[in-house]
């Protein structure tokens, strides 16, 4: 059960909110000192921030998207593995991911705008979720059936046939290489895998965000880069805009926090952090690059693999390479950091752990002589499920806890946030009557109460990601 709603039936509509500021009611010049006035300000130009700005602009809201970095998708988005998968432990999570797939399949039609840099490509290679002894994969199958996700139930024999370089042995539970049993020979094999042929990955995360920026601009949105938000302003319980690091203010009756690993700081600025039952914080993470085996073209013939038995996930990469990340097994240390002060260098210990686990699963990959990879941040909620919600400050919304697991949902997340904002700004009491959004492509119901800031921690969550 969610905590007691802070807003009951007296939820203010657009003409009666406590701050007296409604959609498109701020006069030009009211912001002062050259900041301007807008119908909405989106904080963060990552992939979900850009998608939210696009969806708000296409609904007629004059939207400004601001980011402290020099370009769209320049933060944690740029280092996303951009895996598109459907393996979630709730019906709504699966429904949202499957709806999200349709955006990638119809990318050009969805954007309805060109980009001088070209449009991204969706690589529909499929994904195999290995049947780990813990049985987490079993939680998703009823949701696959209910949503209509196509999947194939592979035996160990079929898994070997489809991926001949893979060792199907049971190595788990996941271990660090310094564990004496790390290299122990398996005594039995995994029972197979669940393969979802429609899964895949997006070719270029930053270009994806640039595509969304151009689409948003075509719809009337504006973007300001190298511009940090230093304050969220409010009056009488209603957000009134933001203050920027050059001292200017921007007036807006709607502000959306999509600041990724900095989201908790923006919430603190807005004064809503303490009132949220679910919190977010920044987690340092590494993804490593390994060359594919010379005898097998993994880029052409490989697919995404979720390997909870071994504590990793991996996917094909350009040039017959493989990207490998950690699923955050208990044996791997978690490095919660200050998002403005963390070590951006690869850790030798984590590189070794992830690459050697990959070597166990794909022995012919070997062990690279050179360490390659990226270090970046996840924005993680208490149960690793995102928060798409309003807040106790009227007009202030959040799309947070998304880094590391929601790139695949960028389009549908932007749509859901815009639908939520339109509903609440029109007087809907989302806390008392959580909004259900109909998927634009699939018609599936997406119950936004699942992503409430006031929910209890979901104990069925895997508390991890598959990229």
Is 244 a residue whose pLDDT tops 70?
yes
Tokens describing residue 362: 């794909």
User: pLDDT per residue over 153-201, tens digit each?
Assistant: 999 999 999 999 999 999 999 999 999 999 999 999 999 999 999 999 9
Give the chain's domains with CATH numbers: 1-124+202-279+382-467 (3.50.50.60), 127-197+281-381 (3.30.9.10)
Residue 461: per-residue pLDDT? 65
Backbone angles phi, psi at 355, to 5 degrees: -70, -40
Tokens describing residue 178: 């310094």
The sign of the torsion formed by the CA atoms of 18, 24, 27, 33 equals positive
Number of helices and strands (H, E) in the chain? 10, 23
Is 404 a residue whose pLDDT tops 90?
no
User: pLDDT per residue over 356-394, tens digit each?
Assistant: 999 999 999 999 889 999 999 999 999 999 999 999 999
Nearest to 341 by CA among 261, 402, 403, 274: 261
User: pLDDT per residue over 73-83, tens digit each?
Assistant: 999 999 999 99
Residue 9: per-residue pLDDT? 24
Neighbours of 390 (CB within 10 A): 26
Is 289 a residue whose pLDDT tops 70?
yes
395: buried, middle or exposed (CB in 10 Å: 19+, 13-18, 0-12)? buried
CA separation for the pair 253, 246 (Å, rounded)? 21
Nearest to 304 by CA among 394, 201, 387: 201
Residue 464: per-residue pLDDT? 65
Give the Cα-Cα-Cα angle 275, 276, 278 (nearest 5 degrees): 155
Q: Which stretches of 37-178 are assigned E, i.e. beta strand?
A: 40-43, 63-66, 83-84, 122-123, 127-130, 152-154
Residue 463: per-residue pLDDT? 56
Is 219 a residue whose pLDDT tops 80?
yes
Residue 445: per-residue pLDDT? 98
| Mean pLDDT rounded to a whole number for the chain | 91
Residue 61: per-residue pLDDT? 98
Residue 89: per-residue pLDDT? 86
**Which pairing describes strands 280-291 and 373-381: parallel, antiparallel, or unpaired?**
antiparallel
Is 439 a residue whose pLDDT tops 90?
yes
Contact 210, 221 (CB under 8 A): no
User: pLDDT per residue over 37-89, tens digit each?
Assistant: 999 999 999 999 999 999 999 999 999 999 999 999 999 999 999 999 999 98
CA separation for the pair 71, 4 (Å, rounded)? 40
Residue 218: per-residue pLDDT? 98
User: pLDDT per residue over 271-282, tens digit each?
Assistant: 999 999 999 999
Q: For the packed helices 410-425 and 47-58, what is the interaxial angle rounded to 10 degrees?
A: 50
Neighbours of 161 (CB within 10 A): 10
């Amino acid at each position: 059960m969610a905590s007691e709603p802070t807003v009951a039936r007296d939820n203010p509509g657009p003409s009666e909110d406590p701050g007296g500021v409604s959609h498109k009611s701020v006069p030009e010049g009211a912001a002062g000192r050259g900041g301007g006035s807008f119908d909405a300000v989106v904080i963060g130009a990552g992939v979900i921030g850009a998608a939210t700005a696009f969806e708000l602009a296409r609904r007629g809201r004059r939207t400004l998207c601001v980011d402290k970095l020099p370009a769209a998708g320049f933060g944690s988005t740029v280092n996303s593995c951009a895996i598109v998968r459907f393996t979630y432990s709730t019906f709504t999570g699966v429904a949202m991911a499957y709806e999200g797939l349709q955006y990638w399949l119809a990318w050009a039609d969805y954007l309805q705008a060109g980009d001088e840099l070209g449009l991204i490509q969706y690589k529909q290679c499929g994904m195999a979720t290995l049947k780990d002894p813990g049985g987490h994969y079993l939680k998703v199958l009823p949701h696959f059936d209910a949503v209509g996700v196509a999947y194939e139930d592979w035996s160990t024999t079929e898994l070997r046939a489809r991926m001949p370089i893979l060792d199907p042995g049971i190595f788990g539970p996941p271990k660090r290489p310094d564990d004496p049993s790390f290299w122990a020979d398996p005594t039995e094999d995994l029972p197979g895998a669940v393969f979802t042929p429609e899964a895949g990955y997006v070719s270029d995360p930053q270009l994806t965000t640039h595509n969304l920026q151009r689409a948003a601009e075509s719809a009337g949105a504006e973007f300001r880069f190298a511009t940090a938000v230093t304050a969220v302003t409010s009056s009488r319980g209603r957000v009134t805009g933001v203050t920027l690091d050059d001292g200017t203010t921007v007036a807006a009756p709607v502000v959306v926090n999509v600041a990724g690993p900095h989201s908790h700081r923006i919430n603190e600025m807005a004064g809503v952090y303490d009132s949220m039952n679910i919190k977010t914080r920044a987690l340092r993470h590494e993804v490593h690059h390994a060359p594919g085996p010379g005898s097998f073209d993994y880029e052409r013939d490989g697919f995404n693999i979720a390997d909870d038995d071994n504590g990793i996930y991996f996917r094909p990469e350009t040039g017959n390479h493989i990207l490998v990340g950690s699923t955050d097994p208990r044996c791997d240390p978690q490095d919660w950091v200050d998002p403005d002060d963390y070590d951006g260098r690869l850790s030798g210990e984590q590189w070794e752990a992830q690459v050697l686990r990959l070597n166990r699963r794909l022995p012919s990959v070997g062990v690279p002589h050179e360490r390659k990879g990226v270090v970046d941040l996840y924005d993680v909620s208490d149960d690793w499920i995102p928060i798409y919600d309003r807040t106790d400050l009227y007009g202030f919304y959040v799309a947070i806890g998304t880094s590391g697991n929601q790139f695949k949902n960028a389009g549908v997340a932007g749509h859901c946030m815009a639908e939520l904002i339109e509903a609440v700004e029109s007087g809907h009491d989302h806390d008392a009557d959580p909004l259900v959004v109909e998927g634009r492509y699939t018609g599936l119901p997406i119950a936004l109460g699942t992503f409430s800031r006031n929910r209890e921690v979901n104990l069925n969550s895997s508390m991890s990601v598959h990229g």
